[in-house]
Amino acid sequence: MFSVKLVVMVVVGGMGSIWGAVLGSALLTILPQLLTVMQDYETLAFAAILILVLMFAPRGLAGLVEAGFRRLRESAS
Query: pLDDT (tens digit, 9 = 90+) per residue, 3-53?
Result: 878 888 888 888 888 888 888 889 888 888 887 887 788 888 888 888 998
| pTM of the predicted model as reported, rounded to 2 decimal places | 0.72
CB atoms under 10 Å from CB of 20, counted, come to: 24
Looking at residue 16, the DSSP 8-state letter turns out to be T
- Which pLDDT value is given to residue 71? 93
What is the domain extent for residue 7? 2-76
Task: Write the Ramachandran bin of 60: left for phi over 0, alpha for psi from -120 to 50, otherwise beta.
Answer: left
What burial class does residue 5 get, using C-beta atoms within 10 Å of its C-beta: 0-12 exposed, 13-18 middle, 19+ buried? Answer: middle
Total of domains in the chain = 1
Q: What is the pLDDT of residue 69?
A: 92
Distance separating alpha carbons of residues 22 and 34, to the nearest angstrom: 19
Q: How confident is the model at residue 1 (pLDDT cuts 50, 70, 90)?
A: confident
